[in-house]
A and B are shown apart, each in its own frame.
Chain A
Amino acid sequence: MNKLEFIETLRYYLAALPEDERNELLRDYEAHFIYGQQNGKSETEIARELGDPLALAREAIGPDFLPPPPWSPSRRDIPRFIGVSILLFFLNVMFAIPVFASIWAAFIAICAATLSCFLAPVALVAETVLYGNYMPGKWFVAIGMVGIGMLLAVAAKSIGKWLVFITLNYAKWNYKTWRGSH
């Protein structure tokens, strides 16, 4: 074990100590290595004299020392990963994306309808100014359309919230399923 390995292993086992205490202790060990090398010892030799980092960490932390779990590289189940990727791909292409696209399209249509209802009085004013064939009855229609627009706006708002919610959740579910439990 060389100096770097010794210090890093010890740092890992000392995770339970507050950061400043840990760093101070590690500085003591680093200094020890430097003095040892000045006295003509090799890093390996010094590390051996210092002892086992795990035992030292136990010494430093005291009776509550719990060794952190050894490093485990995140394992991936490749066949599962491939299978899930293919299934999710077809689920999305054949079903989820068309369904979501049509629901969102319907929602956008509702929004457009709402907007045009609100714009009805503006359109009436424009028509009067540009073409001049004004009829009082059209005002009733325009005001009625604003009313319909208000109702639609309320509906669009709750539909929009719901759509965002299910779309996000579906996306999260996709990601989690794809990544697996790791």
Chain B
Amino acid sequence: MDINTQFKKGVLELCVLVLIQKHDRYGYELAEAVSEHVEVAEGALYPLLRRLVKDGYCTTYLQESSEGPPRKYYQLTPEGLQYSKELITAWNAFVHNVANLIEQGEFPKE
């Protein structure tokens, strides 16, 4: 497993929360939206979504679709919104700190 996969797995939750925050989405739509930006095993979304629902960060509702099975939409709860804000703050701080660290390290310029 390459290092990138581990990184992606970690931020998948953040990506999903941000996407649902914009508007309610169903599983396949989320998978498409995520993989547009990050290459990731799309299947990992569903266990993640299940966990988010279990932890009370999301709720689901079904909506009939003219084509195909009813769509299970995911909606952010107030707790989910709070959590997502915390994650974004933590993420930004983390990226910033790591960037600083790399900056200070003396790497030979390519």
Contacts and interface: CB of A to CB of B under 8 A. Distances in A.
By secondary structure, the B interface counts as helix
Chain B: interface residue count, which band? 10 to 19
A25 B47 contact: yes
A32 interface: yes
A29 B28 CA distance: 9
B18 to A, nearest CB: 20
Chain A: interface residue count, which band? 20 to 34
A50 B50 contact: no
B47 A32 contact: no
Given A28-B46, A35-B68, 12 more contacts: A21-B50, A25-B46, A29-B46, A30-B69, A31-B69, A32-B27, A32-B31, A49-B42, A49-B43, A51-B44, A56-B44, A59-B47
Contacts of B50: 21, 24-25, 60
Interface string A19-57: 001001100111110111010000000000111110110
Interface of B: 27-28, 31, 35, 41-44, 46-50, 67-69, 71-72
Interface of A: 21, 24-25, 28-32, 34-36, 38, 49-53, 55-56, 59-60
